[in-house]
Amino acid sequence: PMHTFGILTDIQHAPIPDGHSYNGTPRYYRHALTAAKHAAEHFEEEQVQCVVNLGDIIDGKCADKSEVISVSHDAIDDVLNALSRYKCGRILHTYGNHELYNLAREGLAEKLGIPFTLEPTGDLLRFLVIDSYDICLLDRCPDTSPKRKMAHDILSKNNHNYPRDENSPEGLEGLSKRFVAFNGGVDEPQLAWLEQSLQSAKANGEKVIVLSHQPIHPCSTFPTCLIWNYEDVLSILRKYSNVVIASFSGHAHKGGYIRDEESGIHFRTLEAVLESADPIRTYAMVDIWEDRMVVRG
């Protein structure tokens, strides 16, 4: 292959016993850390060029602890230590809703080294990281933030359950179920940056892989996990179908896939590390060839 990278998502580590999601799906908080360590060791063994973490590195239940900041930092350190078994390249991080339940984005960006910029790989392949919580209502976003106000307005307009039950899609139909508070949106400046970055990649003869925590294509996920303004992002990607190879995301733990008919771009939602019981370890390696892409997981 021209390029191989490792990928995993939704580790959601927390120093608590195993539990369940709101709909009863088992969650293996401690095994997730073991699985992340095993994945990193395998990535190192395979000498992949880089590793992608698609977010939710820790669980929102860390915020249930009285010392939320220290517990959250310790939990992140535990996962970063597990992932440090991979040494031969860079780990590209994004963050999801669960990090933002615990910590402010400024501290997260510094701790995880998240630049949200183009990442040249040296072989005419670049990764673009989209902040899908650019506009959001999550706990650690300042109340005075204009983008928090934007999120408030979006949810007020589109979800009659808000603010009483801000995470509930009850009574919403179809793709409108995405308008819940554990999702977010992409603001105009970032959309402009995305288009400019794709223009630059096209001019340089580069191919692009797009990374985000939330899925972008409505057929690659449940409606409840989509970016609020996914249409804006998707329309830009479709304009550069000769540049964008694929989009990878997490957030929807069961995973999903669609090859967009209009553009031919592959949209793959990765399954969550968190929901695999021992001895299953959920991660993948992606091989990029001149004429195909293979996900090995």
Instruction: List the end-to-end C-alpha distance of the chain, in Å, as a whole number.
Output: 16
Peptide bond into 189 cis (omega under 30): no
The model's pTM is: 0.94
- The span from the CA of 251 to the CA of 57, in Å, is 11
pLDDT tens for residues 80-103?
999 999 999 999 999 899 999 988
Sign of CA dihedral 33, 86, 110, 180: negative
pLDDT at 271: 98
User: Alpha carbon of 224 to those of 138, 178, 276, 288: distances in Å?
Assistant: 16, 4, 21, 30
Percent of the chain topping pLDDT 70 = 94
pLDDT tens for residues 241-289?
999 999 999 999 999 999 999 999 999 999 999 999 999 999 999 999 9
Backbone phi, psi, residue 161, to 5°:
-80, -15
Peptide bond into 146 cis (omega under 30): no
Contact in structure between 107 and 77 (CB atoms under 8 Å): no
Average of per-residue pLDDT across 106-125: 74
| Least reliable range by pLDDT among 17-31, 190-204, 250-264 | 17-31
- The span from the CA of 210 to the CA of 216, in Å, is 10
Residue 116, C-beta contacts closer than 8 angstroms, at least 6 positions apart: 129, 130, 131, 190
219: its two tokens: 């057929």
pLDDT at 117: 55
Domains of the chain listed by start with CATH number:
3-290 (3.60.21.10)
Going by the DSSP 8-state scheme, the letter that residue 160 receives in this structure is T
Tell me the residue ranges of DSSP E strands in the chain.
3-8, 19-20, 26-27, 50-53, 90-93, 119-120, 125-129, 207-212, 244-249, 256-259, 266-269, 284-288, 293-296
User: Alpha carbon of 73 to those of 26, 108, 278: distances in Å?
Assistant: 24, 9, 25
At residue 260, the 3 state secondary structure works out as coil
pLDDT at 111: 87
Q: How many CA atoms lie within 13 A of 146 on its CB side?
A: 1
pLDDT tens for residues 209-225?
999 999 999 999 999 99
Going by the DSSP 8-state scheme, the letter that residue 270 receives in this structure is P
Residue 154 CB burial class (10 angstroms; 0-12, 13-18, ≥19) = buried
- The span from the CA of 118 to the CA of 197, in Å, is 7
pLDDT at 118: 52
